[in-house]
Each structure stands twice: as C-alpha cells, then as structure tokens.
Amino acid sequence: MNNNSKVLALKYRPQVFDDLIGQEVVAETITNSIKADKIPNAYLFTGIRGIGKTTTARIVAKGLNCLKGIENLCKKDLCANCESIADSSHIDVLEMDAASKTGVDDVRDLIEFSRYGPTSAKYKIFIIDEVHMLSKQAFNALLKTLEEPPAYLKFIFATTEIKKIPITVVSRCQRFDLSRIKSTELFEFIKKIKDKENGKVSDEALKLIVKISEGSVRDALSLLDRGLLSLDKNTELDLNGAQKIFGYFDKSQLINLFELILKGEEERVINIYRKIYDQGVEPKVFVNDFLEILYYFKNINSLSLESTNFSLNDEEFTKIKDISNQIDSEVLILFWQFAISSLEELDIVSNQHLSIEMFLIRLMHLSSIKLKKNLDQEERNGNLVHQTVNKEREQIFDDSSKIVNQIKNIAQEEKKKPEIKPETKQEIKALDKNLINSFDDLLDICNQKKEIKLKYELEKNVNLVKFERNRIEISFNDNLDKDFVKDLSSKLFEWTSERWIITFSKSKGEMSVKEKQRNKKDKLITEVKSSEIYKMVMEKFPDAELMDVMLNEKKEDKNE
C-alpha cells in the first residue's frame, strides 16, 4: 500500500521508542532492561484505546530482534527483521487477536508452536492483543509456559480490560500502565501532523479534536483525518466547521443558556436549546456537556485555563468566573443532581428532546435559584414581600426539602402573589398535619382517606427505592395498574397541595410491604414450630397443620 494512501493513524504510527509520545517512562524502562539483558518472560501493556499498546508491543519485538541492536534500532533503513515485524509478516513474531481466538485449543496450538526455536531471529515472540478475551481455560493452559518459558520465547500482552485478566496471569508478567496523553502534548503532536499533511486547520479546531479524543492518539488522528477530508484543500477548518463535522456545539451557547436559567427567562432558554438541538446535538451529549459546564462553574476558582482540557477559550473562562461569583454552591450542586436524574429519565421516555426541555423548565422553577447579587439588592431595598415569603417557607420546609421542592422562583411569585393573606398561617398549620415524610406516612394517609385501591398497589406491586420530600423513586412488578402513577400524583397533590415527582428505577429496591409481612409471618411460624408447645400438639394430633400465628399483645394498665 502506498504510504500516502494510508489513514493518518497508520501513516504516522511510531516505529521506534523515540516516536512514542506520553510514554517516556515505559520506553526508558524497557530499553534499559533490554540493554541490561534482564528481559521479562512476558510484558503486559494496559490502558485506554488508541494510546499505543499494540504499537509499543511491536517496537519491543523490534528491540529484541533488531539486527543493529537496541541502541541503533532501525528507524528509516530497516533491517530484514524490523521490516517484516512492521509488516506483521515475521515468521518468529506471531500476532494473535484474542478476540477471535478465545478458546483453549487456540492456546494449545500456540504452546505447541512455542516448542520450536526461532528461525531467523534471536527471540520467538507472541503478541496477543485484547488478551482479556481469552477464556478461563485458555488462561489456565497458558500459565505453566508463561512462568517458565524457553529462553528464546517471549510473550507480549495488550489489553484495555486489565481487571478481566486472572491475577495469576498478571503476576507472571511485567506490567506497564500506559497513561492518557496530556492535552498540550497531543495538541502539539497533531499540529505537526497537520503541517506535514499541508492541512489548513485552526488551533481552536485542533483543540476541539484533542478534547473529543480524550487522550487517545488514534482517535485524535482519525478525527483530524476526517476533518481534512471534509473540506476543500483551499478551505481552512475552523472551530465552527469542526463543531458541525464532529457533532459538538459552541460552549458559549451553553454558558448563555445557564445564565438565562438563573434569571428565569423561560422563553429564551427554550429557544436557545432548540437551536442547539437543530444543530444535530443529541440530548445525552447536551446533558453531559451541561454537567461539564456545571463542574467549571463550581470549581473555576481552583482551575487554570490549561487545566480545562481546551474545553474553554479565554472569553468563556472569564465569563464563567464572573458568573460563578454570584451563585451559591448549593444551587450548582442542586443542578448537578437534577442533570444526573435527567440522564436516567432519557432511557425511559420515547421523545428525549421534550424531556430535556422539561428538565430546563424544572431548573427555572426551583425555589433555591437566587443570584447573590439580586439578593443583596433586595436586602438593600428592604423588600418586605421577599422577606415574608422566605419566612413562611422556612416554617413549612426543612433544609432537605428545599433541594427537591419544585416551587416557582421569587421573581414569578412577585407577579402572582404580591400580598400574603392573613389566613395563610392557619392554612399552613392545617397543611402541616398532612405532611408525608415517609413511605409509611403515605400508606397511613391512604388508609385515612379510604384509598383502598391505591394502598393495595403500594403494598403489593411497588418496591421502594428512594423516598424524599416531593420525590418517590420506585420499581414495580408486572401487576402494577397502568393508571397508578397518574392516580398517586393526583392524590398527593390533593393532600399536600404540592407537585410530586414519581420516577421508575432500574434498581430492584426494597421488598414490597406484602412481601415483608409474608416473610415476618413465615419467620413467626418457623419460630413456633421449634417451640415445645408445638411439638406437644403434634404428638397428640399428628395430622394437624399450623396455618397462621397471631401475637397476643397485652395492653398496659393505665394505672401503672
């Protein structure tokens, strides 16, 4: 194959240790061991995809078998061994993909082949890629040979799933953890490749490629290759073009969106999100980028521009820093919790786009959303309406419920409730009696209100996962009534005058109430059967069967 026709990831594949980036410690250690002739029986390379595990394995094979020796390892004018190793055609260097050859028979063939010494090289080398895919029996068959191989035999393993490899195999290898490539180092590397290819790509577009690749050299080169092929030779690939090609959107849009959420400008927030969605951004990608922005807002004072992994430019970094000084940390943590919850909801709803819009609306209607600057201004103006509303809220809700309650923000309450009615406190006291703070409270109020069907569903067909103020997370069995959520939400609103969120979880949750009662009953029957009275009864009436147990609880004398 013509070298110019290769994809960039293959065209610029490192051929010697000096070509590797970000793995200097690994390269130096292996080079020194070969020079000192202290070569391990097996190497084990592990790390994320695209950081050079298989490439390093081939370079090690060259270092062991190069005719010029490790100190003069072939780079351009390749010797016969290095050339055939680079082409994967060397008779003594066998490359095996464990993903396609996982069985014990494949390993037995390998062991049988290892009995014969090398033909033209110093060492016979087996390179096994994705070694974690081997079966348990295959690993066991390999153990003895791996521990005491012939002097001419060396193993080199590569894997992305080190935890799936038996510890007995790992302990017989010299393990090297290949690290992710640093952002600045990867940026300089692909910039050099871009110049060699005479490509026109802006630094901002290259930084986006570095961010998307997440420290993987192969991913970065593949994205660069794709970007260069997407445009004409005379057209420069800028940040906007790269965002369209790779399906990413401008972070400044997300920062503006976040600021408008804090101000409660619902219409503008939804319009900005719809523009982002129209760019082809998937809802899950949007939520994950939203989480990333939240992280920066929370920790921006302890970060530098370089530590953001090229996610932000100078202007965005400064803007986040300015806004973050006006936001309470509790608000950001609350947003984070809701964003994580929305990610789970995306797996349930059919129209994810609508779910994201509702997620953004919910954020604007949380009672805790207050800018410090606005609060200071309100205090200076002596706004009595705000003080009264906050005082009444503190009487109703404790600190934990503030996080979950979906109450309209202060700006919206000003429009709808400019005055506090005198009877509000009496209503609050009456409402306080019916507060539902646990699953048992919910069952009790169902009983009090004669909602027998709802109580039946809760006791028999529902498994509680989590119960919080105004939020219930459950799992359920196949017998749950289809209108259960609608009925329960309606009744909770009727009883508490508040909206409740009811979500379904993939977790199994606690046992249902009926299952707990059944287990308790079975336990009592078992205890009774081990008693002396039961044994005496069975001696007299061998055909008798214990069906139920009822506890005789003695009432305490009031005079005592």
Domain region containing 452: 439-504
Q: How many residues does the chain have?
A: 560
289 in the same domain as 428? no
469 in the same domain as 333? no
pLDDT of residue 133: 92
Residue 426 falls within a domain, yes or no?
Answer: yes
pLDDT of residue 310: 60
pLDDT of residue 466: 84
Neighbours of 119 (CB within 10 A): 9
Q: Which residues contact 181 (CB under 8 A, 6 or more apart)?
A: 21, 22, 51, 189, 215, 216, 217
Residue 514 falls within a domain, yes or no?
Answer: no
Q: How far apart are CA 74 and CA 85, in angstroms?
A: 11
pLDDT of residue 311: 63
Tokens representing 135 are 């079966």
153 in the same domain as 54? yes
17 in the same domain as 48? yes
What CATH number does residue 352 fall under? 1.20.272.10
210 in the same domain as 257? no
212 in the same domain as 242? yes
205 in the same domain as 117? no
Domain boundary residue, one of 246, 275, 295: 246
359 in the same domain as 491? no
What CATH number does residue 230 fall under? 1.10.8.60
303 in the same domain as 416? no
314 in the same domain as 271? yes
pLDDT of residue 308: 63
412 contacts 420 by C-beta, under 8 angstroms: no
What CATH number does residue 158 fall under? 3.40.50.300
Residue 341 falls within a domain, yes or no?
Answer: yes
260 in the same domain as 211? no
295 contacts 231 by C-beta, under 8 angstroms: no
pLDDT of residue 442: 83
Domain boundary residue, one of 411, 432, 453: 432
pTM listed for this prediction: 0.57
Domains: count for the chain: 5
Residue 351 falls within a domain, yes or no?
Answer: yes
Residue 550 falls within a domain, yes or no?
Answer: no
Residue 492 falls within a domain, yes or no?
Answer: yes
pLDDT of residue 411: 40
Residue 535 falls within a domain, yes or no?
Answer: no
Residue 417 falls within a domain, yes or no?
Answer: yes
Q: How far apart are CA 157 and CA 146, in angstroms?
A: 11
If residue 261 lies in a helix (H) or strand (E), which one and from where to where? helix 251-263
Domain boundary residue, one of 116, 143, 177: 177
Q: How far apart are CA 467 and CA 472, in angstroms?
A: 5
For β-strands 42-46 and 153-159, DSSP reports them as: parallel
Tokens representing 119 are 């033909």
pLDDT of residue 551: 61
Q: What residues of the chain score a pLDDT lower than 50?
A: 367-369, 371-378, 382-389, 391-433, 553-560
| Extended strands (E) in 167-286 | 174-177
136 contacts 101 by C-beta, under 8 angstroms: no
For β-strands 153-159 and 174-177, DSSP reports them as: unpaired
351 in the same domain as 397? no
